[in-house]
Chains A and B, each alone.
Chain A
């Protein structure tokens, strides 16, 4: 009698964990399903080549927003990747420096700072003094978000490199810094690139820090010192607008954005797989 009750409880509990998993995956299916259903019908060549049309005119596209997103990511990489990478190298190679725990802690703190707060930071540092929303401000905000991700993955990848390699290089009389550059970093290259691409995928979808830094623009941007359009902000603007035409554009934009991001993370996944096979 008791044994049967225990068995029933066991069955029920197992079924519940399975139900939880199904419930977690259901929104994924729903979201991707809706994106495909509503987005595909609005995507055409115009979407990639045309500027947004004013309210009331149908058609038009998001060419400026797609280019804007790429420009912002480029700016973010130019600033965020070298600093993040350098920090990661410092954390891994000089691990017994007294500075290291503090910097690592700061990286983790920065990783948890809400992106909207970083938006305020970029606004105060760049938009206020220059008196203009700008691509620079947006790129700066995204770079700050990238920093901790790049730094921590670089650190972890460098730590995975076997000590033998370092010892062999040093034993041959190679200076420590050249060992780091030529042996350690080169060995961990694949993993570091992976980390950088994950950071790019993460910031590509960021909207909140761009709202009052890059701001948005219905036209092509004039130089990097002025407001610039981006896919996430454009999707947001269109989604909260009352116009059906803009809603369709928002779905199409979301589909393009998600495709960009998943393509990045998927290629990362393939890269990582190859890497771990060689290392282990």
Chain B
């Protein structure tokens, strides 16, 4: 960390002509720079230590199970068997199901907001969508347990198995809690994130693109399909990845409605567990050290997956919305 590298950008623009008066560096400037730099380094340290702490705290589990941890499908603390496959499966399937519901809704809403809505509708609607993001996870969970789960048991579930029951996905007993219920709550929770980023991306589409399409006689929808969507595709994929990152790490609401059974089942009605939900459920009940370590290792896998997804998402969003959107 040489001193030059810490200089402010406006200093770089200073003319190269040196004054004849010897330049004195202000002591206050140095102290201030060191102080703020040390705060920044603290943040760096926190991020690095999260990785290190989780690695250290799961060392015996990693040594004991090695790669089999990720591929074994039995999670049975009583028998001291720890295979994270059902949890990984639960996380992937619940997140993908959530995306399948959230993508069309979010993209539709973002298109409505950026292309079709009259201007007086825009502000209130985007405010309401943002409001969805401020509801705490545990409140979603509460609503899920007492409202969505009963609906699932008596209306949505039977309707699905009645019409699509021939598919293995929609067969099997329906308890109300389970993979589908969890994914529906997740979808509602990630919609505001995808919508707001997609909205930003669509707004970054140059007006000339739209005008060109309209001038060629395109209808509004054709304009969206020909000019807006292709231009915003990368950004929308980034937005979806951001939503995916949220869905993968989401804990409380999922824990409350997914049924918490570490099984791999084809049916979306079956109870399941995700990586996050198993930690929330079992961490305080882990009675022996290896059990706790296995849970920390699940946390480590979760951390690595979310970081990779988030970094990819940011790269994609930056490519499109960087000049307009900054680094949100």
Q: Which residues of A line the B interface, CB within 8 A? A: 6-7, 9-10, 13-14, 16-21, 23-25, 27-28, 30-31, 34-35, 38, 82-87, 89-91, 93-100, 102-104, 106-121, 123-125, 144, 147-148, 151-152, 156, 163, 166-167, 175-178, 180-181, 201-202, 204-208, 211-212, 215, 232, 235-236, 239-240, 247, 250-251, 254, 257-258, 261-262, 265, 269
Contact = CB atoms under 8 A, between A and B. Distances in A.
A17 to B, nearest CB: 4
Contacts of A10: 219-222
Contact of B1 (A83, A99, A163, A258): A99
Contacts of B29: 175-177
Contacts, number: 290
A98 B31 CA distance: 18
Interface string B165-191: 000000000000000000000001001
A14 B221 contact: yes
Interface of B: 1, 5-10, 12, 26, 28-29, 31-33, 35-44, 46-47, 49-50, 53-54, 56-57, 104-109, 111-113, 115-117, 125, 127-129, 131-132, 134-143, 145-147, 188, 191, 195, 219-222, 224, 245, 248-252, 256, 276, 279-280, 283-284, 295-296, 299, 302-303, 306-307, 309-311, 314, 326-327
Given A20-B109, A94-B33, A152-B327, 20 more contacts: A17-B111, A21-B108, A25-B125, A86-B38, A96-B12, A97-B37, A103-B44, A106-B44, A111-B310, A114-B302, A116-B249, A116-B251, A117-B249, A120-B299, A123-B283, A124-B54, A125-B53, A151-B43, A181-B32, A206-B136
A25 B245 contact: no
A151 to B, nearest CB: 6
Contact of A205 (B108, B138, B219): B138
A239 B109 contact: no
A219 to B, nearest CB: 18
A96 B142 contact: no
Nearest to B286: A212
Nearest to A104: B327
A180 B9 CA distance: 13
Contact of B128 (A25, A83, A90): A25
Nearest to B189: A27
A113 B42 CA distance: 17
A106 B128 contact: no
B220 A14 contact: yes
Contacts of B112: 17-18, 20-21
B147 A116 contact: no
A123 B40 CA distance: 23
Contact of A94 (B36, B42, B132, B138): B36
